[in-house]
């Protein structure tokens, strides 16, 4: 099965510090997209950032950026200047175009932000 793996079940960071969440994935397709979703205690799934596999440039969204290593099939999320509101579950996901076109998720990383 083509999978998405998040090896860190839990992470913690001090407020205003930087934290990196890891994700690796498996795919035989060349055309795919990668995502990070945030799930706060409210349960809502919120899209944080998206990366097209054909783009070499790493995506950034304000304090959120990714480190996309295509050859290594690695897609980590960096959160800079962490805020209390960043505390949540974070899910890495892969969408494959032209294959089984669906979003496949990792099992998530629970991020705690300490004041």
Interacting residues toward other proteins by CB under 8 A: 33, 35, 42-45, 47, 50, 52, 91, 95, 97, 100-108
CB 52 to other proteins: min, Å? 8
Task: Please say which residue, 50 or 73, places its beta carbon nearer to other proteins.
Answer: 50
The CA–CA distances, whole Å, from 59 to 78, 96, 102, 113 equal 11, 18, 21, 23
Nearer to other proteins, 56 or 100 (CB): 100
Nearer Cβ to other proteins (75/82): 75
Give 54 or 69: the residue with its C-beta nearer to other proteins.
54
Shortest CB 5 distance to other proteins, Å: 11
What minimum distance in Å lies between the beta carbon of 115 and other proteins? 27
E strands in the chain? 4-5, 10-14, 19-21, 24-25, 32-39, 46-52, 60-61, 64-69, 74-79, 88-96, 103-105, 109-114
Q: Provide, rounded to whole angstroms, the least separation between the CB of residue 65 and other proteins.
A: 17
């Amino acid at each position: 099965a083509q999978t998405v793996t998040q090896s860190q079940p839990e992470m913690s960071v001090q407020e205003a510090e930087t934290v990196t969440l890891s994700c690796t994935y498996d795919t035989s397709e060349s055309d795919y997209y990668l995502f990070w979703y945030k799930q706060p205690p409210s349960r809502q799934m919120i899209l944080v950032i998206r990366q097209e596999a054909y783009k070499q440039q790493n995506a950034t969204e304000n304090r959120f950026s990714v480190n996309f290593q295509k050859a290594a099939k690695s897609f980590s999320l960096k959160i800079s200047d962490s805020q209390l509101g960043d505390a949540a579950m974070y899910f890495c996901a892969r969408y494959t175009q032209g294959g089984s076109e669906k979003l496949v998720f990792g099992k998530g990383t629970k991020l705690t932000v300490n004041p």
